[in-house]
Amino acid sequence: MLYHVFMDVTLPRDLPADETARILAREKAYSQDLQRSGKWRHIWRIAGQYANYSVFDVQDHDELHRILSGLPLFDFMDIRVTPLLRHPSAIREDDR
C-alpha cells in the first residue's frame, strides 16, 4: 500500500547539541535504510520548514505505524498520514 506522509519536526530548544546530533545521525541512517529497501519511496523537503512530504510503500497500516514510531525523531514530530489508491485515469503501470 502507498501512503502519503507529512512530517513536521519541532526539536526542543533546550535539547543539548550533542544529543541532537546523535538523534539526527540515527534518523538519517534509519531513513536511508528504509529508502534503500524501497519502503520509503520518496522524501521531499518543504522549503523554509523543518518538514517533509514522503511516500511509503508498505504492506499495511501496521507496518507503516511500526516504521514511523521507530523514527528516532518520532517524539518530536507531528505526523499526518493519507492512504493512497491508484487513480483510474493514471497511465503509468509501474505505480501501484
> What is the reported pLDDT for 33?
98
CATH of 2-84, one of 3.30.70.1060, 2.40.160.40, 1.10.1130.10, 1.10.1040.10: 3.30.70.1060
Q: How do residues 12-43 score in pLDDT, each as one tens digit?
A: 999 999 999 999 999 999 999 999 999 999 99
Determine what percent of the chain falls in helix, strand and coil, rounding each to the nearest 5: 35, 30, 35
Band of residue 59 on the pLDDT scale cut at 50, 70, 90 = very high
Percent of the chain whose predicted confidence (pLDDT) is above 70: 98
Does 95 score more than 80 pLDDT? no
The Cα–Cα gap between 76 and 9 comes to 6
| Number of alpha carbons in the 13 Å side-chain half-sphere of residue 1 | 14
